[in-house]
Amino acid sequence: MARLNYHHLQYFWHIVKVGSLTKAAEKLHISQSALSSQIRQLEESLDCALFLRQGRKLVLTEFGNLAFSYADSIFTKGIELENLLRKGIASESQTLRIGVLSTMSRNFIESFVEPLLNHSEIKLEISASGQTNLLNALSNHQIDLALTNIEVRGNTDQLWECILLDRQPISVIGPAEIEIKHGFSAKYAEYNWILPNQDSPIRAAFDGLCALHHLEPHIVAEANDMAMLRLLARDSRALTVMPEVVVKDELKNGVLKSFTQLEGIFENFYAVTIKKHFRKFEISQLVNQFLVKKRAL
């Protein structure tokens, strides 16, 4: 059995770290052709492809991502050892990269990642973006997990694993000083409304409920961001619709009030990963911990 060539592995590690073959070759002071040749030798010795070429861009394969995680640990540990022996500086951590849909509730995101916030051996990286960018980042192994409120379905090109973490009922939320003594009906036309944008699943369900009750809400503003809806609801006398988890602090301190839950309308929260042979243990553990916690409530 051929032994792993750590020299080639380090070249592979440098390419991934700097993001391109050209930059890595310049940094390592070798030619691109020589660097490419050594990466091919590494792939042959491991009997798997580490990169896929997409146009002029190199993208890690699943096995490439796995190899990089090991290489990063190996060479990062080497740097840590050198720092410890020379400077007396020790470091012990690993990184989990979580992408979140930019319009999601920050309170929900915080409740999901809470078990990691005081974990001394795990460094958490959270980045927010749109749905398409989230899935692209997953495909390119730039993040380990995506949190979204939009269900993701697989296709022939990509198999996703989409796990339903939670579903929150949608409520009518508004300033605490408003008095509403009747259930959801056409009488809600008396009030101003701030609603999610037309492309929101919550908005589509709310519009359907309004049609059922012959309600034409007076809409003064729309937003596709829950944080913005939260601010607008707090600082105006308008009503809005959202899960209570989004404004749990405002409900607790009496700034806002929940008037009624909307029957049959929910916001779903999903954890999305790529279906693959290997997954970081910490990701599976995090998802399972959250699901167990929700069942216990």
CATH number for 136: 3.40.190.10
Same domain, 102 and 138: yes
Domain extent for 161: 94-166+270-296
Are both 179 and 129 inside the same structural domain?
A: no
Domain count, the chain: 3
Q: Which residue has the higher pLDDT, 296 or 271?
A: 271
Are residues 226 and 184 part of one domain?
A: yes
Indicate if 112 and 80 belong to the same structural domain: no
Structure confidence by residue, pLDDT tens digits, 144-194: 899 998 888 866 566 788 999 999 899 999 998 888 877 788 888 889 999
How sure is the predictor about 278, in pLDDT bands with cuts at 50, 70 and 90? low
CATH number (domain holding residue 26): 1.10.10.10
180 with 196, same domain?
yes
Core vs surface per residue 139-159: b (16+ CB within 10 A) or e:
eebbbbbbbbbbebeeeeeee
If asked whether residues 174 and 162 sit together in one domain, one would say: no
Mean pLDDT of the chain: 85
pLDDT band at 49 (very low <50, low <70, confident <90, very high): very high
**Quick one: 24 and 138 in the same domain?**
no
Q: How many Cα atoms occupy the beta-carbon half-sphere of 186 within 13 Å?
A: 5
**Residues 172 and 235 both lie in one domain:** yes
Instruction: Say whether both 178 and 227 belong to one domain.
Output: yes
User: 87, 108, 125 — which closes off a domain?
Assistant: 87
The pLDDT of residue 297 is 59
Question: Tens digits of per-residue pLDDT, 9-24?
Answer: 999 999 998 888 889 8
Residue 1 has pLDDT above 50, yes or no: no
Percent of the chain surpassing pLDDT 70 = 90
- Confidence at 276, pLDDT banded by 50, 70, 90: low
User: Is residue 1 a part of any domain in this protein?
Assistant: no
What CA–CA distance (Å, rounded) separates 38 from 5?
10
More confident residue, 251 or 277: 251
Its pTM stands at 0.64
> Residue 233 pLDDT more than 50?
yes
Report angle CA 51, 136, 97 to the nearest 5 degrees: 85
